[in-house]
Chain A
Amino acid sequence: MNAHGALAVFRFELRRTLTPSRIAVWLMLVLFPVFIVSVLKYYEDDWSQRLRPRSARRAARIQISESTRRGAVDERRAGRDRVTLVGAAAVKVEQPKRRVDAGARGAGEEDRLDLPPGLVGQLWAAVFFGLIPEVITLFGLLLWVPTLVHAELEGRTWIYLAVRPRGRVSVLLGKYLTAITWTMLAGWTSATVCAAIARPDHVLRLWATMMALVTLASLCYGALYALFGVALHRRAMVIAVGYTLVFEFLVSFIPAVINKLTVQYRLRNLLFTWMDWWELVPKEAGDIFLGTEPAWLHLLVLGAGVVGVLWLATQVVQLREYATISDT
């Protein structure tokens, strides 16, 4: 590992990429979730009202007893628990539904249920997770990591770096650090602003979770895209997009061992653990989509994965012959 060289590349790249166009792209990344969250916040009263009958109907449809979720749970409580699926995340209505006194409501409102406390907060968290550690992080990394070698080859600067001792590894690690720094800063800024705008329940906990997930997603996806960038540099962007769509967004939901190989599976689990949502998920759904491993194991797997993938990328970048010029 050439830390000195990697840091030199990191410093140089950070300064070099501080251009108006890069800052504009970065701002767009930051502002995209902020815009969505602002719109949702503006109409929060409307959509939270509409959730009531919908949640009631859905709760009735997919009512799952708590006894089947975790095994030995109190029978009386099991009958009261209900689950609502919101996007990728299974979010359970926390409280038993209280039937509204028909006499106190107007005609036609007998079937309506009160909006369960905490549901809006969970929806905000799901929106944050979908927008920030997923959309922002993946877009940022897709823009800046897969092209790390190809950009130097296109710019005809690769040869200047490659003839330095450990120059190729320094470029790989330095540009990886630069890309994840830009991306993490975008994710962190966006999470902070979004949290300030939405101010959902347990806002600090949600903010801290998003910061951690952005960091993990940047490190993991950055390493994967860096590997694509050095191994398949001509089509790295396309391959990275294809991998993300197929492997991370489809395969990660397949209830088989293969979904444990995805980053998405680990991040989902950590989201539920750190937001303390396990009580809200039926056991079957939890086991299939989120797994049963503890958080430390997920962190260990992700950390080892980053190190392993980056090591593989350093081996590839040193062994590959990159055509630097058309002159033969």
Chain B
Amino acid sequence: MIELRNVTKLYGTVIGVNDITLTLEPGAYGLVGPNGSGKTTLLNLMTGQLRPTMGTVRVLGESPWKRDQLLRMIGLCPSVDVLYSNVTALDWVQYLVELYGFSRYEARERAERSLREVGMAPFMQRPMGTYSLGMRQRTKLAQAFAHDPQLLILDEPFNGLDPIGRHEMTEVLRGWIRGGRSLILASHILHEVEAISPRFLLIRGGRVLASGPPEEIHALLADIPNEIRIRCDQAALLAREFMGSGLAESVRLVDDGAALVVATRSPAAVFEQLPIWLERLQVRVDEVRSAEDSLHRLFTSLMRRHRGELT
């Protein structure tokens, strides 16, 4: 479905994506990476909005650059918000569908159908300036698949959605995949992608660092110590308990002994044991939080591995 060979995109001296080679068969993929990692550049290369500085991109067997027929088979939901405040969702989606060459009548029908599918039927006659972020996200999704593309590309589609909205969006996308059509979903939040896509591409610094099913990603995560920061009134006492338990890789006191940072490969066991110790030692805890989120740690670790700092 998508083939990239040694693709590099430079913005002047800034690297957008760096020597990416990958082949994606038809199916659903999650493109996961932190902000600024090159996800949008990669998607723009796939949709023909950018031309690679080096290498070749082929989508559905064709180079996407200046291929209008190919664009009919792709639906894109960009990450950027819609700012036509005085236009209704129905008018906007109809307009975008018309640009695929559909008549006004057919474009109207398709726009209504796709807006209904994303739960926007009651609001589609209202100006978009009155919409919540979640409603705008759903409208953006509707415009992406209203023309029935073969490949749907979504860039951060869950931004601004509340839990119910996320669930509804997830169901819509699962339905899309069940229909046998392809999907590429870019996000910086792992569990959002995990709920929909069976395969991941991890991207950072313009490079694809890892790819595979969720199990492989979790295996990578398991190898990386998790840091937990605990602010309490007896940090030194708690630190001694951690060191004696064997649950911690390392423990260090910070903030002049007012808090401790515990590195562990078994965060679940730590969170299970912690209340027992707190009760026994009569320690009062003010704050417990993970010092880094797991995805960030994963990317840091993968980058170090990529540079040869880790084996």
Contact = CB atoms under 8 A, between A and B. Distances in A.
B95 A12 contact: yes
A159 B44 CA distance: 9
Nearest to A17: B86
* Residue of A8, A12, A163, A322 with most chain B CB atoms under a 10 A cut-off: A163
B41 A327 contact: yes
A19 interface: yes
Interface stretch (A136-144, A164-172, A272-280): A164-172
Interface of B: 11, 14-16, 35-36, 38-41, 44, 47-51, 66, 68-69, 71-72, 74, 76, 78-84, 86-87, 91, 95-96, 98-101, 104, 143, 206
Contacts of B48: 163
A234 to B, nearest CB: 14
Contacts of B14: 328
B192 to A, nearest CB: 17
B51 A327 contact: no
A17 to B, nearest CB: 9
Contacts, number: 96
B99 A164 contact: yes
A204 to B, nearest CB: 39
A157 to B, nearest CB: 7
Nearest to A19: B86
Contacts of B35: 327
A5 interface: yes
Contacts of A161: 96, 99
- List of 3 A-B pairs having minimum Cβ-Cβ separation, nearest first: A165-B68, A164-B99, A156-B80
Interface string A27-57: 0000000000000000000000000000000
Given A4-B101, A324-B80, A165 B95 contact: no
* Residue of B16, B39, B47, B71 with most chain A CB atoms under a 10 A cut-off: B71
Given A4-B101, A167-B99, A328-B14, 15 more contacts: A5-B98, A5-B99, A11-B95, A12-B95, A16-B87, A159-B44, A159-B49, A159-B80, A162-B49, A164-B71, A170-B99, A318-B66, A321-B51, A327-B39, A327-B41
Given A161-B99, A323-B11, A328-B11, A156 B71 contact: no
Interface in A38-88: none
13 contacts: A12-B91, A16-B84, A155-B84, A156-B83, A157-B83, A164-B71, A165-B100, A166-B68, A321-B50, A323-B11, A327-B40, A328-B16, A328-B38
Given A324-B49, A327-B39, A159 B98 contact: no
A278 to B, nearest CB: 49
Nearest to B103: A4
A74 to B, nearest CB: 65
A9 B100 CA distance: 12
B72 A165 contact: yes
B206 A328 contact: yes
B40 A325 contact: yes
A296 interface: no
Contacts of B84: 16, 155, 157
B199 to A, nearest CB: 22
